[in-house]
Structure 1
């Protein structure tokens, strides 16, 4: 806009501001792009997620739906100004920290804005008022319960006790507030779209509108010449290295740009780089590309047909890979069974639906490329980008931002190849931010599964045999399909002893969006099948469903289906037993309710068990930590485990502090950066607390030994850290180690250590026998539901979740992971299913809101792992797995109708109830 144009004025965070943007510009864009207040987050630009909520004259509004012209002369308050604008805000921020109400933090500014408006008009709100006030803001991480509790505390409700600065050696096991929490609640945290060089160009991808199509380009040079501000078009011809990349080396098949044929709707065929204003105004419909739509393969049966076209050369029948675990004699096992059950189960695509769309920028620095973006796997990104650009890995630097939710999809590359390629060729910084539609259309999903299961048991309730087969729709490219195909057979038994077992899986290519990693790597789908059938088997045997599971549960010295034996740290029986008191009470309450019911509502209770191997399946899985002691006595932890909201920044530091014997407050973090931190591996598979935490434990112990050597003291000596000195106390005597007198290394440390931990595993043989994981986590969930048998609607009233975490390093963060995982499990059970080409927004694709989530009671079981740091195991993936089958079993308990295809939407529940009624009428 010309400088002579009238400027628009309003009050922002207590100050008068004038802006030059056009009056129709979104307020969110003005706050972020013109005024630099990036604490206001943008998740959808459609008013669906509420992340951009600000206060307008004290009322919460979605700033993406407000034109800046509408705020002329009015008062706007963003997250940066909340504490000065309202006394409620400071109390809210404090309560959010205490309760762990901010996990990834991308929704937190919106939540705080909405909650501040509530407390300003209603200082002592009820829980219902809190839920109503924040109901327009979506959160994918927390499960909402800690947010609700935090708002209630700020309004005078029950207070949460935390430990701000635990004494040396007492950090583990305490409710330490997140070390990165302050940045999340004051709006200063930097996410992928928040920090951009002023001269950065922008990039937009040209994507296939068809599930499968040939294409050809027209006059690309002419297109650039005829569009001022457009700098260049990139295609596969411009990739200097390998056009294909992938998360698993042998299956690296996904191209940066498709060549000749696009294999799924949304696949990139080109990218346009230009000035941001020009690119924002560009009509991509004018891009010179011609499409020839081809018949797509959109289901597994069609893809497996011998006459079907092969989507990938060298893969017979479009089968990407197979998984196999076989133990014992299956025929003999079923011959010994006196009771059998079998069933077919189906799940669909599930969208990750994190609130932060993919974003980042890249810049060329001499002969190196630097990328700052949201990612779960910086070293994997580095290696793939180096491959794409034809560079040595040392020439690529990945600087992860805060990640606004990941859950697996941000293990795969998204914006990184496009911005790296453009920045490399153009010698200018380049940024890219996915729209919500682009994010949902193109990023990986949870694998749809078709499973067939048969289980047998003896009359005494002992399991004798299980036969599982599953086909997983892996979409157009591999992504993490091999991991899912290999992990599911190990886990499909559940945490139970089954002497005769066969599990066979296939990951199958189709012309749909790639399916990849999503919290559980296929295990939640298998649990939907196995845990429902275990209920059926118990009922046929006339055995209490909980007792049936406990009778068959794994324990110390009992082999798993891969023949692995753990002598300790097997806490599944304790988890199941922990549910018994609430199970018994809930059953009694449900029976009383149903006996008195005169309307269509019926209540039921269900539960399910789970187990999950922490880390990669039978593969190397190392993490490395560096710890340095500075002359001033402070400690620097080079912590490369990306925190995507789960709390690794805090938990790993707690572990390291206690291993060293130093106060937590002395630690400074150097967060993940491939130039500054060692490789801590990807943030996935519940591995960071266990694997990176153990590396931090070893580093803490190593630095302690180094200090004791300098002081010539024994292992039992006590360290007391001070400014520039450490007092080493031993047998009543103290010696002072003067740090300022010690030589300093190149990093500025007087002492420095680096330690690596790689969990001990072994390869699986041709029958899947071996030791795939060093540690399993265990858990069991209890769901209480209310079903409207006339409408088919299901409301979850309460969840009780027992998890064997080995050692609760930080109980508050563990509870947050359990509650957040349970929310995603509830979505899987009742509402979430993505249909490629439809519902590519957060209005049509439903995820649980605060109104959908019931209270969650977490029970932390500590059956210590002999290998984990202080006995700890992972929790992130585990928390999701048993929720859906527990809810489905509760629906059956309430109605007698079994749901074999999830989600259990009202039409499916109603159809199952009607089918049951018809069957009963026929029998009569």
Structure 2
């Protein structure tokens, strides 16, 4: 209290406190969030903002030595007190520095957005308890959410206790592939200096906020917008569809792109933008957007696929006949005859709902006009797609657009789509001033794409000996109000719904259906997790009917390289599904025996179960061009430049692509300078999606490295087996007994300053699919199988994952630590899909009501890496990002049946659904 008023009551004052060991003061309202003071006033952006509600923990700092969410602390509450952030702890705390090193060695930082919060929380734990238990470590980080890692490597790093380094030291030239190198971009993630979408803004930037529809469907009419601007000092402009230079739609998949920057007269889903306000930050933040002059006329909406497909349903898009966006089809053999003759068949219907991406970093970025060009700095998975779309929106040449990707705090597919880009680009182009936009968490969840809800009916027939005879699939996917990636899902699922098994007769027909709901888009797996959830459960039912062990049934039918897939493709080498399934055999037998013994002895409501599921996934686009280009050069000082435009969203492409390039060239990693994604200085490496970057961009890097090596060897008149040594200002080439030194300073340089340079492009060899879906949709497939061990409480319906064993054929593990990280992170998202995650539009638009797995939900994961090399991939490598998610949920669902004797046909298997299924079955359970 000062003068009778508490600091929180003083309208404007200077607040002093100790920050990272030094005295500071800020002139901000006492009720302002501490995060805002730290980031905006004191420019310490290591403290991240993921929710502004205390749900994600990304903003964790120490207040008087105790971890708190800075977004829930008012600046007035820290007056005269001590605050420590990741920046300060990195300098002052030996515990933090040891933790940072452990995080790098264990691969505990992936995208990095949660890493500062994790490190701060773990620092507090280790300062108080240098040798914590695993349970204590999980409890310490329990308030910090991570969407990438699956938590296990974070826990391992915290429990490190000075063990021998997990990561390899820098390898010799030509020995990088296969090594557990520390993430090359890891240090900024651990010390808080990494720049994400909201972390950097030009001085004097304007702020933009979108006006979004509160209804699933509504016509709207604006009031006097000029008057609204005039009545609000600091407001610069209101933007609507009339301000867009071109009304051509933007979107990732022409000709299906159908969404405009702002809705044109009618909003088709809750959260669709109809306008945007632009102005000085203080003025924009003071606005009550509920008072914006827009009148809504709510219209009848279609919010289910059944309603959209019903006779007489209103058309959501006038230029289409009906509400079916597109259809997918793969047909092989005679399914009707094969099914009729199959002695054993099973059939069921399955359903899944919307799933939110829930990355910890909300969408953010800024744009600025530079002469007749527009520059957009943003968190994105697809810089060149963004470039093309921004040029179309503004009606300018693509050469007038520059996209600068920031670090991406999780993407998983949704950051393929443009969220803030069109708004800030349009505003900056029109006003001539820099404009920034940062989604709030509710805005992010309300308006961005989701995993497609699905309704799948599948029938499978088999011979008495267990050989698969036929699979028949009908699947509908709710693509929401606009196309987004609906065509990709509708076409990818029929290719994959056979699973990695040989099926002589096959039919898969899919539809993407429009509704008045948030668009569904790309999300780790593009529809394959939904179809696999159906198929792998029916496999268990079929095996049980036949009296065959469930794992052995899959092994018997596992696809081999000389058998045709459902599309007629004969893959040849690199088909490792049988090896993945066989790798689970020892644990399968042990786990089954242990579960049976537990259930026999259990006197209470707990039951254990074991489930297994297999998967495959084609890397890259389906039967479409999918090129990546990589550029490299040797500089006069003897260092190498790698122009690597593949956006790393946490999966590790910055490290993996560099490892591949280094070995192809025969150079040590520490001689390579990586030039990160930027459309002005890196060639197009394609979008980061569909598990393509290690495979496609990695192959381009291999080709570029080999070409640069060949050029240097030619200059030295040396043979292919010669050794190249890169030194300051020179290159030495040793070819047997002969040695030649090249003085780089004596050589001419090209326009980019290189004495030698190469650029290589790789486009995977595929072919179009015919009318029956026959052809070569992918050049490379990844394979995998998961074994889930669970515990079910029959009285409550709760399910706990006790252990997961994950076997994956990755072709070649370029960096095993990063591969394991992808497996663990994918498994965590698979757990969420199985047990807790379902987004209901209009509800749960926050990370408190929408649940994702936390540290305590994730058990030990045993990763088994199978290396059945692909002849096409770089050094034999395949993708892993999508693959790791796909088999987790069906393995858990199969384990639920194993424990309870009841089948759950709708995901997620929430306690109420599990309990209802048990009651419907008479309360009986398997012993």
Q: TM-score range by the shorter chain?
A: over 0.9
Question: What do residues 190-244 of structure 1 show as CA deviations (whole Å, max 9, x unaligned)?
Answer: 0000000111000000000000001000000000000000011000000002352
Whole-angstrom CA distance in 2 between matches of 1:919 and 1:302: 36
CA offsets per residue over residues 465-511 of structure 1, 9 Å max, x none?
A: 11001000000000000000000000001000010000000000000
CA distance in 2, matches of 1:5, 1:314: 57
* Equivalent residue number for residue 308 of structure 1: 313
Does 2:380 align with 1:358? no
Contact 2:472 2:507 in 1 (8 A): yes
**Does the Cα contact within 8 Å between 2:218 and 2:268 map onto a contact in 1?**
yes
| 1:516 and 2:514 aligned | no
Partner of 2:155: 148
**Is the CA contact 1:152–1:158 (under 8 Å) kept in the aligned structure 2?**
no
Match of 2:5 in 1: none
Matches within 5 A, 1:2-17: 6-17=13-24
Is the CA contact (8 Å cut-off) linking 2:12 and 2:29 kept in structure 1? no
Q: Match of 1:483, SS?
A: helix
Range with greater deviation from structure 2 (713-722 or 609-618): 713-722
Cα distance in structure 2, aligned partners of 1:183 and 1:744: 32
**Residue among 799, 806, 809 paired with 1:804:** 809
1:121-520 to 2 correspondences below 5 Å: 121-153=128-160, 156=161, 158-520=163-525
Cα distance in 1 for residues equivalent to 2:856 and 2:924: 35
Q: Which residue of 1 aligns with 2:90?
A: 83
Counterpart check, 1:25 vs 2:43: no
The alpha carbon displacement at 1:317 in A equals 1.9
- Confirm whether residue 52 of structure 1 aligns to residue 59 of structure 2: yes
Structure 1 residues 5 and 823: CA distance shift in structure 2, 3 A: closer
Equivalent position SS for 1:317: coil
Deviates more, 1:206-215 or 1:310-319: 310-319
CA distance in 1, matches of 2:31, 2:925: 61
Asked if 1 retains the 8 angstrom alpha-carbon contact of 2:446 and 2:841, the reply is: yes
CA drift at 1:314: 2.8
Structure 2: distance between partners of 1:162 and 1:49:
29
Displacement after TM superposition at 1:161 (Å): 2.3
User: Which position in structure 1 is the counterpart of 2:4?
Assistant: none
Q: Output the CA distance in 1 between the equivalents of 2:164 and 2:419.
A: 41
Residues 323 and 506 in structure 1, CA contact (< 8 A), matched pair in contact too: yes
Classify the secondary structure of the residue corresponding to 1:297: coil
Query: Aligned partners of 1:236 and 1:920: how far apart in 2?
Result: 59
User: How far has the Cα of 1:83 moved from its partner?
Assistant: 2.6
Partners of 2:13 and 2:30 within 8 A in 1: no
Match of 1:895 in 2: 900
CA contact 2:918–2:925 (8 Å) conserved in 1: no
- Equivalence for 2:760: 755
Structure 2 residue matching 1:740: 3-state secondary structure:
helix
Give the Cα–Cα distance (whole angstroms) in 2 for the partners of residues 480 and 753 of structure 1: 34
Q: Following the alignment from structure 1 to structure 2, what is the Cα–Cα distance between the partners of residues 835 and 447?
A: 12
> CA–CA distance in 1 between the matches of 2:333 and 2:256?
31
Q: Is the 8 A contact 2:346 2:461 kept in 1?
A: yes
Report the Cα distance in structure 2 between the residues aligned to 1:507 and 1:164, rounded to whole angstroms: 49
The 1-side partners of 2:207 and 2:730 are apart by 50
Q: Match for residue 70 of structure 1? A: 77
Q: Which residue of 2 aligns with 1:830?
A: 835
Offset at 1:338? 0.8
- Given that 1:9 and 1:16 are in contact with CA atoms closer than 8 Å, whether structure 2 keeps it comes out as yes
Q: Indicate yes or no: 2:869 matched with 1:864.
A: yes
Q: Does 1:118 align with 2:151?
A: no
Distance 1:171 1:747 in 2: 27
Distance in 1 between residues matched to 2:622 and 2:819, nearest whole Å:
24
Distance 1:498 1:913 in 2: 33
Q: Write the distance in 2 (CA, Å) between the matches of 1:316 and 1:604.
A: 48
Cα contact 1:242–1:389 (8 A) shared by 2: no
Decide whether the 8 Å contact of 1:77 with 1:85 is kept in 2: no
- Alpha-carbon separation, structure 2, partners of 1:258 and 1:829: 35
Q: CA deviation at 1:85?
A: 3.2
- 8 A Cα contact 2:99 2:157, kept in partner: yes
Equivalent pairs counted in the alignment come to: 918
Query: Deviation of residue 545 (structure 1)?
Result: 0.7
Q: Is the 8 A contact 1:205 1:268 kept in 2?
A: yes
Q: Does 1:848 align with 2:857?
A: no
Matched, 1:592 2:601: no
Q: How far 1:676 sits from its partner (Å)?
A: 0.5
Structure 1 CA distance for aligned equivalents of residues 190 and 301 of structure 2: 46
- The equivalent position to 1:97 in structure 2, one of 79, 97, 104, is 104
CA contact (8 A) 1:264 1:513 kept: yes
Q: CA deviation at 1:335?
A: 2.8
Distance 2:324 2:553 in 1: 37
- Name the SS of the counterpart of 1:880 in structure 2: coil
1:120 counterpart SS class: helix
Question: Of the candidates 669, 673, 678, which is equivalent to residue 668 of structure 1?
Answer: 673
The separation in 2 between residues aligned to 1:831 and 1:566, in whole angstroms, is 37
Q: Would you say 1:606 and 2:611 are equivalent positions?
A: yes
For structure 1, list consecutive stretches of 5 or more residues without a partner in the other structure: none
SS of 1:783 mapped into structure 2: strand
Residues of 2 paired with 1:311 and 1:694: CA distance? 42
Q: Is the 8 A contact 1:305 1:317 kept in 2?
A: no
**SS of residue paired to 2:893:** helix
User: Residues 504-535 of structure 1: CA distance to partner in whole angstroms, max 9, x if unpaired?
Assistant: 00000000000000000000000000000000
After superposition, residues 729-744 of structure 1 pair within 5 angstroms as 729-744=734-749
Provide the residue aligned with 1:907 in structure 2: 912
1:574 partner SS: helix
- What's 1:780 paired with? 785
The question of whether the paired residues in 2 share the 8 Å contact of 1:243 and 1:257 is answered with: no
1:566 matched residue in structure 2:
571
| Alignment partners' CA distance in 2, 1:265 and 1:798 | 39
Structure 1 residues 752-775: Cα deviation after superposition (integer angstroms, max 9, x where no partner): 100000000000000000000000
For the 8 Å contact 1:242–1:390, the answer to whether it is kept is no
Q: 1:723 aligns with which of 714, 728, 750?
A: 728
What is the CA RMSD across the aligned residues, in angstroms? 1.3
> 8 Å contact 1:86–1:120 — kept in the other structure?
no
Q: Are the aligned partners of 1:243 and 1:256 in contact in 2 as well (CA < 8 Å)?
A: no
Note the alpha carbon deviations across 1:823-872, whole angstroms, 9 max, x for none: 00000000000000000000000000000011100000000000000000
- Residue 856 of structure 2 aligns to a residue whose secondary structure is coil
Instruction: Give SS of 1:171's match.
Output: coil
**Residue 305 of structure 1: how far off its partner (Å):** 1.4
Which string of whole-angstrom CA distances, capped at 9 and with x for unpartnered residues, describes residues 229-273 of structure 1? 001100000000235211101011011000111000000000000
Secondary structure of 1:697's counterpart equals: helix
- Specify whether residues 159 and 795 from structure 1 end up closer, same or farther in structure 2 by C-alpha distance, changes over 3 A only: farther
Q: State the distance in 2 between where 1:881 and 1:831 align.
A: 16
In structure 1, C-alpha distance between the alignment counterparts of 2:443 and 2:370, rounded to whole Å: 29
